[in-house]
Amino acid sequence: MTALLEVDDLTVAFPTEDGVVQAVRGVSYQVNRGDAVGIVGESGSGKSVTSMAVMGLLPRSARITGSIRLMGEELLGRSDAEMSKIRGSKVAMIFQDPLTSLNPVYTVGTQIAEAVLAHKDVPKSRAMKRAVELLDIVGIPNPSLRVNSYPHELSGGMRQRIVIAIAMANDPDLIIADEPTTALDVTVQAQVLEALEAARKATGAALVLITHDLGVIAGHTDRVNVMYAGKLVETGSVDEIFYEPRMPYTLGLLGSLPRIDESGRPRLIPITGSPPSLLNLPSGCPFLPRCPKARDRCAEVEPELTATTNPRHLAACHFHTELATATAEEVFA
């Protein structure tokens, strides 16, 4: 069986005034049907750009190489018109700011119905009925009343749930959610994540969840890709990433988090320095300047993703075997 989404050696570069920004530098990953894959990384790690490439939403100036296959079909190099057919029907996307994805002059019902009608030939009344059903699934109270609301009449959390309803409209095979809850309060975030789970259950869609929030990743994904400086630096099951990280960056990230479930922890362990500029990256490991484990080899050769104890758990570190039992305190303190 072929994977639902196969991204193979994807690179994305943006020419700017200062030179070429290597936003994504050879990323490969797969999403199987029904899977929930998290992509985690800090700003500038390339996590959003990777998914924008999948959706064909990058600006024209972007130079893209590699391959993106959806159910075996190549997406790179397709025209805008062809991509529009795929977007919304097979793949749906949810962005951070729901206001930009909603049209302020139409009611939310019309917009959901519109999404249904764009890819299915059904009567309009049927589409409106579907809109009410979808609103109910994402947990909007009084859905038959709410279909007549305009986006500005709704709160941020409600709007994001409308966007999720639109994403579900055509039973997509894949939903890509890019920081879907970053702009929201925690109690609202919980509601929206619940809606996203409901949407997955109703459609059976696979999910690519892009976020910087490791807590959200822990609760809502099966597999995790960690990105740093435009590359995947670790990939594995959610438990492997959280309990047996094999890349110093992942380890450091987990160690630097203040945790609500742990009391009396004396001190956070920060990762010193900041991520490298993606212009003229030096050779060698991009994490080197911040890595307490760095040795000569790290400056010479950029490590590739290699299998650890489990062939599905890969880490881009020359010395990942040494991290097998390490804690953030030992490595970074």
Residues at the site binding another protein, with contacts judged by CB under 8 A: 14-18, 21, 23, 42-46, 48-49, 52, 58-61, 141, 155, 157-158, 185-191, 194, 212-219, 238-239, 242-243, 252-261, 263, 265, 267-272, 274-279
Instruction: Give whole-number Cα distances, 126 to 5, 141, 154, 227, 323, in Å.
Output: 31, 21, 24, 43, 57
- Which one, 46 or 143, has the nearer CB to another protein? 46
Cα separation, 37 vs 40, in Å, equals 10
Closer residue to another protein, CB minimum distance, 117 or 291: 291
Q: Please tell me the distance from the alpha carbon of residue 322 to that of residue 330, in angstroms, as a whole number.
A: 12
- Cβ of residue 266: shortest distance to another protein, in angstroms? 10
The beta strands (E) that lie in the chain are given as 5-16, 19-31, 36-40, 63-70, 73-74, 91-94, 174-178, 206-211, 223-228, 231-237, 306-307, 314-315
Sign of the C-alpha dihedral computed for residues 157, 162, 167 and 168 taken in this order? positive
| Nearest-approach distance from CB 234 to another protein, in angstroms | 14
Q: Cβ closer to another protein: 49 or 285?
A: 49
CB of 50 to another protein, least distance (A): 11
Query: Which two three-digit tokens encode residue 197?
Result: 């789970």
Nearer to another protein, 201 or 265 (CB): 265
Tokens coding 232: 């995947």
**Hey, which residues does 175 pair with through a beta bridge?**
92, 207
Q: Which two tokens stand for residue 327?
A: 């804690």
Shortest Cβ 34–another protein spacing (Å): 17
281 and 321 Cβ atoms separated by less than 8 Å: no
90 versus 290: smaller Cβ distance to another protein: 290
The nearest distance, CB 265 to another protein, in angstroms, is 7
Q: Toward another protein, which CB reaches closer, 194 or 322?
A: 194
User: Smallest distance, Å, CB 288 to another protein?
Assistant: 15
